[in-house]
Structure 1
Amino acid sequence: MRFRIIFLTLLVFSIFSQAQSSTFALAENYFRNSEYEKAAQLYKDLVNRSPYNTTYLQRLISCYQETNQFENSKTLLEQKIKSRPKLTLLNVMLGYNYEREQKSKEAEKYYQRALTSIKDEPGYGGTIANLFKDYNKLDLAIKAYKETSLHNPNAHYGFQIAQIYGEKGDFEFMFNEYVEYLDKNDNYINIVKRYCARYITDDSEDSNNILFKKALLRKSASNPKDVWNDLLRWLFIKQKDYGKALVQNKALYARNNDRLVSIYQLGEIAFDNKDYETAKKCFDFTIENTSYLRDKFNAIQMNLQIAVKTNDPEVEQKFKAVFQEFGINKSTFSIQVTYADYVTFTKNQPEEAKKILETALPFSENKFQKARVKLKLADVHVYQSLFNKALIYYSQVQTQFENHELGQLARYKVAQTSYFKNDFKWAKAQLKVLKGSATQLIANDAADLFLIISDNQPKDSVPSGLKEYAKADLLAFQNKDQEALSILNNILADYKGQPIEDEALFKQAHLFVKTKQVPKAIENYNAIININKEGILADDAFYLMAELYENELKDIEKAKEYYQKIIFDYPSSIYLVDARKKFRRLRGDSI
């Protein structure tokens, strides 16, 4: 009998709860569709059935306010305050009701009552603050959060306060609050990074970047912790100030030897961004301090790549010194592959490179290393214009690693090789797939090549210059720069006024820079701009000219002029942030 009573009680409660949920869902639907009078009838019923549910009450009050029934909401709230005087958050609701009636003095009185009540009822402090925030009373919300934290040691609202400062645009206070919040619990560093990233840019002279850096430096001086160095490192990497990031990394390493991997990773980032000086410092530091042979050889390999990229006259001796000291074996596998690339594209000895790669292949320890050797062998065959053999190797890797970055790279190489051999239709089919690649660099390269083919593909058997351009592109890939320049000259003479012209000028300018013919490169960039100032290559041309004037010709005024062109005429350019930063530096801005 007792069990039956309990069962019936639970059944009735369940039916009652389901009915309430259904009514609330319907009321919410009316509320979202601004049908406030219909919603009010349902919320009124819910409030009568659940008088202690503040969600139902708040919604009913909102319905009254949206339909200008301020007296109804006032009467209801006063009744609730009288029956439940400790529920002090109701003062915020009543204050806001007065504010909607434009009775600011009355509103302020009830807001202050709510704030004052937090001292005696700190348990309601967070809810009071949230209500202020919902009503867009941001300053009062901050006061409520701070007052609650003062009277409740277990309440930590620094994160919410920081977010409100961000909404207000008070970024200095926002960053300070985030820093104070981390000072109490640095486990939230990744969350703080995620939120601060909304306000931080790539520009080191942006006001928010400066405010964030100052907040970190102040806290670091008064209370040194790893978390401040970690955040400074993160900031400097975002700003591409890799040298400064290395300083912070070293400070972290001094306290914790496990941080060495971060220095190596910073070296890779600096290398990818062509800051070879900082990259080499990172790899040198890794070589000196690591106790793992694999990490040591990876760093040695990266330093050799830097030597190749910077045309170090002693690069050959450096490779040989490594092989003499450590031998040709599994440990030096990656270095052997790098050496083969150097022997092919710098020394012009592809057959020797093939021997090096064939020697390296048995030392590969897994399928990924074998695939990299195959890709490099294919590159050597492309260098020799043996396209079909290259395609066999590329296709093998593409099939084996279909959903892996190596497979995507192989597919791009298949497309590029097909383009070199003038099979434009097949190349486009491969590139179309790759434009959505998960690897951004491959996706960008694929999109660029796809556009070149699409814009210049011959129509109705009428020559467009694309075959000749592909030949010049192949020669550039093979490091046969003078031959490539000669073909590009022919394209510019034979296809003047056609779509291929600006592409040929741009490619030729790149080769002029590579072969130290800077004035000719500038002529080409100007020609691109004269063809079409709104063209897709115009902002590239302005930016690259600015770089040449600054770094090669040392003409600061001209550099400033062209950086300024990007800032004012091309606000959506990918170069905007860099151009602004460099313009300010050349102008001598001091922050």
Structure 2
Amino acid sequence: MMKRFLILFFLVISQVVLAQSDYPLAENYYRNNEYEKALQIYQKLVDKSPYNTTYIQRLVDCYQELNRFSSVDSLLTLKQKKNKKLTFYNVLLGYNYERQQQPEKAIKLYKKAIKSIDKNANYGTTIANLLKNYNQLDLAIEAYNATAKKRPKSSYGFQIAQIYGEKGDFPKMFESYIDLVDKIPSRLKTVKRYTAQYITDDSESEINIAFKKALLRKSASNPKAIWNSLLSWLFVQQKEYNKALIQEKALYARDADELASIVNLGEIAFFNNDFETAQKSFEFILDKTNYPDEKVNAHLYLLKIAIKQEVPKIEDKFETVFSEFGKNENTLPIQVEYANYVTFVKNEPENAQEILEEAMSYAKSKFQQARIKLKLGDVLVFTGKFNQALIYYTQIQSKLKSHPLAQQARFKVAQTSYFKGDFAWAKAQLKVLKGSATQLIANDAVALFLTISDNEPKDSIPSGLKQIAQSDLFSFQNKNAEALAVLEEVFVDFGGQPIEYEALFKKGKLLVKLKKYDEAILTFAEVVANDAEGIYNDDVYYEVAELFNKLNKPEKAQEYYQKIIFEHPSSIYLVDARKKFRKLRGDDI
């Protein structure tokens, strides 16, 4: 008895193994359009596994590709007679008629399959998926809805939303996603991820408006905190951080543990130069939190904002924070920021070095040490001590490997090498960083890589790149007059060469830094005049538009924003230019 059982067992196992080895071969033939060869194997597989839907569907596909429609009809009809519960075969039969240009018969069978869900919902999702695969999108939605009625504990909102997306019916798609979140709040992150594929940073796009309307309708009919969260997320995508803050405050009013999202919003607003919203966010946090670490972080960003906005008596503000919280491990980020201010604003790098050396005595982790060493390296570059700076940057790279701080250090190595005139080593570092996980570093790496590769000397003939690097170093060191003087040398020695346009653009940026706005506008005009198809033109138009805004000349600002809209539709400034153009024109945004 045991012997017979073992023989039977090994026969079954051998058939399974044989089927597993045959299937990849059949698939290979199928994908290479060798349908006759694939057909022969799938026939054997279906004989061995008569209820394997994957094998049956592939066999049907092969028959259809070979125009053997009657074989499909015979196969599926026989299968249905053997088991009437397998109603999804009606969809396969329907598609067989569709392939024969008989849509009326096809639709009739599709409808029959959907109707069968009322009696037996077990194959409801199979029917819906097949209809979707055959591009019968409305019928697929109908099948999912019919299945949902029979299985109220299951949710098909995600599948239905995706189908509406394929149809281009974005209002219905968003409505389905929001209904899904309403039913299953844990799907919020998934819905955000898929919705983000459609949402842009243009608040006036039809798709963004459709999402906002769907949210507001749901919020009105069924108020929940989660709708405030989604609205806040939408406003962040649209870079409308002030509106996002309103939603976050509403969330905080419901739940006092929601401060973390306001911290996150404040940081995003800061890095996108919306200092007004960032300041409101961190002032709100200071007012509400009782946690020292949150208070210190809020003070850090408020100090950064004060520096950006050139608020007077900033040193007093630093001293006030140190008086309250002390100089210790908890205030290390503020100590590093203070050293940065003392170096790059006060021009006192020696004092900054002392501040950082004291800060190092409080650092307990390798990450804290790395942040201090990064700033120490910057201070050393500021004073022209490149080799010492490179030692610090390299130490960070070797200790933290692929950590974002190590990526920052690698960029600093590349930038310092560029300042030194070691362009080959700088390029080698930048090639690695171009694919960096940290987008800001990747962008900076690409920009510097292009500066070097577009202008590096050929056959040891000077190209002006050395002077451009020297000017950039002077700019880094806040020696702006010296930086401008070096650029003037480029105009004299390399006039008419491609590097002249880069030098002109850099000169314009330096003049903006020096608040010589009228001179900057004239310089930017030279960039466009000398290179009408240049890579800097959209940058120039945006810079000039922003300058005219500062000079309170809205008509001129409009003119240059409009140039971006119509002449550079793929520019990174397009959405921002469109928003600002509409605002200046007086549109109700």
Aligned to 1:341: 340
| Cα deviations by residue, 1:139-160 (Å, 9 ceiling, x for unpaired) | 1111111111112223321111
Give TM-score, length-normalised by structure 1: 0.93
Aligned to 2:295: 296
SS in structure 2 at match of 1:258: coil
Q: Work out whether 1:30 is the aligned partner of 2:40.
A: no
Aligned-pair CA distance for 1:303: 0.8
Aligned to 2:253: 254
Aligned to 2:576: 578
Aligned-pair CA distance for 1:49: 4.0
Letter in 1 for 2:568: Y
Aligned to 1:195: 194
CA distance in structure 1 between the aligned counterparts of 2:154 and 2:453, rounded to whole angstroms: 61
Aligned to 2:465: 466
The two structures, once aligned, show a CA RMSD in angstroms of 2.4
CA distance in structure 2 between the aligned counterparts of 1:338 and 1:216, rounded to whole angstroms: 41
Mapping of 1:97-176 within 5 angstroms?
97-176=96-175
Aligned-pair CA distance for 1:196: 1.0
Aligned-pair CA distance for 1:275: 0.9
Aligned to 1:309: 308
Out of 24-33 and 191-200, give the one that drifted further: 24-33
CA distance in structure 1 between the aligned counterparts of 2:254 and 2:185, rounded to whole angstroms: 16
CA distance in structure 2 between the aligned counterparts of 1:100 and 1:572, rounded to whole angstroms: 42
Aligned to 1:322: 321
Letter in 1 for 2:574: L
Mapping of 1:53-452 within 5 angstroms?
53-452=52-451
Give TM-score, length-normalised by structure 2: 0.93
| Cα deviations by residue, 1:407-426 (Å, 9 ceiling, x for unpaired) | 33233323323333334344
Aligned to 2:51: 52
Q: Work out whether 1:561 is the aligned partner of 2:559.
A: yes
Letter in 2 for 1:393: Y
CA 1:408–1:156 in 2, change beyond 3 Å: closer, same or farther?
A: closer
CA distance in structure 2 between the aligned counterparts of 1:575 and 1:34, rounded to whole angstroms: 46
CA 1:363–1:134 in 2, change beyond 3 Å: closer, same or farther?
A: same
Letter in 2 for 1:159: F
Out of 132-141 and 31-40, give the one that drifted further: 31-40
CA 1:153–1:467 in 2, change beyond 3 Å: closer, same or farther?
A: closer
CA distance in structure 2 between the aligned counterparts of 1:372 and 1:49, rounded to whole angstroms: 65
Aligned to 1:13: 12
Aligned to 1:493: 492
CA distance in structure 2 between the aligned counterparts of 1:45 and 1:425, rounded to whole angstroms: 62
Aligned-pair CA distance for 1:162: 0.6
Aligned-pair CA distance for 1:46: 3.6
Aligned-pair CA distance for 1:590: 4.9
CA 1:124–1:565 in 2, change beyond 3 Å: closer, same or farther?
A: same
| Cα deviations by residue, 1:42-100 (Å, 9 ceiling, x for unpaired) | 33344344443333333232222222222332233333333433322222222222222
**What percent of counterpart residues are identical?**
58
CA 1:147–1:491 in 2, change beyond 3 Å: closer, same or farther?
A: same
Letter in 1 for 2:563: K
CA distance in structure 1 between the aligned counterparts of 2:135 and 2:587, rounded to whole angstroms: 38
Out of 534-543 and 327-336, give the one that drifted further: 327-336
| Cα deviations by residue, 1:481-513 (Å, 9 ceiling, x for unpaired) | 233223323432332112321121111111221
Out of 372-381 and 299-308, give the one that drifted further: 372-381
CA 1:456–1:155 in 2, change beyond 3 Å: closer, same or farther?
A: closer
Aligned-pair CA distance for 1:241: 1.3
| Cα deviations by residue, 1:270-309 (Å, 9 ceiling, x for unpaired) | 1111111111122112222222212211211111111011
SS in structure 1 at match of 2:572: coil
SS in structure 2 at match of 1:373: helix
Aligned to 1:510: 509
CA 1:37–1:434 in 2, change beyond 3 Å: closer, same or farther?
A: closer
Out of 243-252 and 418-427, give the one that drifted further: 418-427
Out of 438-447 and 555-564, give the one that drifted further: 555-564
SS in structure 1 at match of 2:258: helix
CA 1:271–1:18 in 2, change beyond 3 Å: closer, same or farther?
A: same
CA distance in structure 2 between the aligned counterparts of 1:41 and 1:362, rounded to whole angstroms: 76
Out of 430-439 and 527-536, give the one that drifted further: 430-439
CA distance in structure 2 between the aligned counterparts of 1:286 and 1:507, rounded to whole angstroms: 39
CA 1:488–1:110 in 2, change beyond 3 Å: closer, same or farther?
A: same
| Cα deviations by residue, 1:523-582 (Å, 9 ceiling, x for unpaired) | 222221222233322221122223323x22344443333333333333333223333443
CA distance in structure 2 between the aligned counterparts of 1:76 and 1:447, rounded to whole angstroms: 59
CA distance in structure 1 between the aligned counterparts of 2:146 and 2:411, rounded to whole angstroms: 60
CA 1:315–1:153 in 2, change beyond 3 Å: closer, same or farther?
A: same
Number of paired residues?
589
CA distance in structure 2 between the aligned counterparts of 1:496 and 1:321, rounded to whole angstroms: 52
Out of 571-580 and 171-180, give the one that drifted further: 571-580
CA 1:502–1:54 in 2, change beyond 3 Å: closer, same or farther?
A: same
CA distance in structure 2 between the aligned counterparts of 1:319 and 1:545, rounded to whole angstroms: 35
